[in-house]
Amino acid sequence: MSLVALLTDFGLKDGFVGSMKGVILSINQHATIVDISHDITSFDVMEASVILNATYRYFPSGTIFVCVVDPGVGTERKPIAVKTKDYYFVAPDNGLLTLTLKNQPVEKIVHIKNYTLKTDVNTFHGRDIFAPAAAYLSKGLDITLLGDQLKDYKKLPDLEPTVEKNLIKGKILMFDKFGNAITNISILPEKFKLHYKGYTIHEIKNNFLEGDKDRPNLIKGSFGFYELFIPMDSFKERFKAKKYEEILIEY
């Protein structure tokens, strides 16, 4: 398998993505490169983690995911490559892989030190470290040859909702293109009351047109989490919602 999937916050203006693709194809001209997204909010590791977790499972076994949302590039944070039962992941060790590796049994983790581009720049690991590592993996390189094996990887804190007696405390993780608020809540009891900014929600909508246009609505979205939305409008703008705002659920 020589399928490489890219996920970054680089955008398409500056040629960063093109440089990475050029490196991959220079090493493996038979590689197939797929773009998941290059519009992750700048520096937003949490958003990248959510989007990777929502998409990776729809790719064929053997796919190599290159994920670069890396505000700590050039610091002591490690560049890592991870092998699971079905996939490879190449990324900074900054928590980006938290949600995905929670669902994928990890077989090997490697601190990437070998098979890199030798440059005098320390600010573009996407091109100089992650892209070549992915390219060599796509040619069948044993992951252990990339560097020293590690026992663990960094995890983002406080991703899970907290559960107390008759109360779930969740939060907003991110907003999608339409302004829907993706929460960290994936399971709800049959009977519940969700509280947000003075509104109470006690039912789950079946589609995005079914909701009330004058108040928050709740739906199970394709990210695998419950989402707050307004039909054909931006929940984020309408309610001036912010990341990490608390959501309380009584049950």
Mean pLDDT for the stretch of residues 219-234: 98
**Among the three residues 119, 150, 181, which one is the final residue of a domain in this structure?**
150
Regarding whether 71 and 135 lie in a shared domain, the answer is yes
Mean pLDDT for the stretch of residues 204-228: 97
Nearest to 226, CA basis, from 182, 163, 189? 182
Residue whose pair of structure tokens reads 């309610």 in the numeric block: 239
List, in order, residues 6 or more apart from 127 with CB less than 8 Å away: 16, 19, 20, 23, 117
The domain that holds 105 is classified in CATH as 3.40.50.10790
Regarding whether 146 and 32 lie in a shared domain, the answer is yes
Q: Using CA atoms, how far apart are residues 148 and 109, in angstroms rounded to an integer? A: 8
Regarding whether 229 and 195 lie in a shared domain, the answer is yes
* pLDDT at residue 158 in the model: 82
Nearest to 96, CA basis, from 74, 112, 116, 79? 79
Tell me, yes or no, whether 121 lies in a domain: yes
**Among the three residues 96, 122, 150, which one is the final residue of a domain in this structure?**
150
Tell me, yes or no, whether 10 lies in a domain: yes
* pLDDT at residue 61 in the model: 97
**Confidence band, pLDDT 50/70/90 cuts, at residue 217:** very high
Give me the DSSP letters along 60-97.
PTT-EEEEE--TTTTSSPPEEEEEESS-EEEEESSSTT
Mean pLDDT for the stretch of residues 210-232: 97
For residue 228, what is the DSSP state? Answer: E
* pLDDT at residue 103 in the model: 87
Q: Using CA atoms, how far apart are residues 236 and 116, in angstroms rounded to an integer? A: 41
* pLDDT at residue 249 in the model: 98
Domain count, the chain: 2
State pLDDT tens for residues 74-86: 999 999 999 999 9
| Residue 169 backbone dihedrals phi, psi, to 5 degrees | -110, 110
Tell me, yes or no, whether 104 lies in a domain: yes
Regarding whether 242 and 171 lie in a shared domain, the answer is yes
8 Å CB contact between 30 and 4 = no
| Residue 103 backbone dihedrals phi, psi, to 5 degrees | -105, -5
Which range marks the domain in which residue 177 is found? 162-250
Regarding whether 96 and 117 lie in a shared domain, the answer is yes
Q: pTM, whole model, 2 decimals?
A: 0.94
| Residue 43 backbone dihedrals phi, psi, to 5 degrees | 70, 5
Tell me, yes or no, whether 155 lies in a domain: no
Regarding whether 127 and 20 lie in a shared domain, the answer is yes
Regarding whether 73 and 7 lie in a shared domain, the answer is yes
**Among the three residues 150, 170, 205, which one is the final residue of a domain in this structure?**
150
* pLDDT at residue 1 in the model: 60
* pLDDT at residue 151 in the model: 97
Nearest to 98, CA basis, from 50, 155, 56, 51? 155
Regarding whether 37 and 8 lie in a shared domain, the answer is yes
Regarding whether 139 and 56 lie in a shared domain, the answer is yes
Tell me, yes or no, whether 156 lies in a domain: no
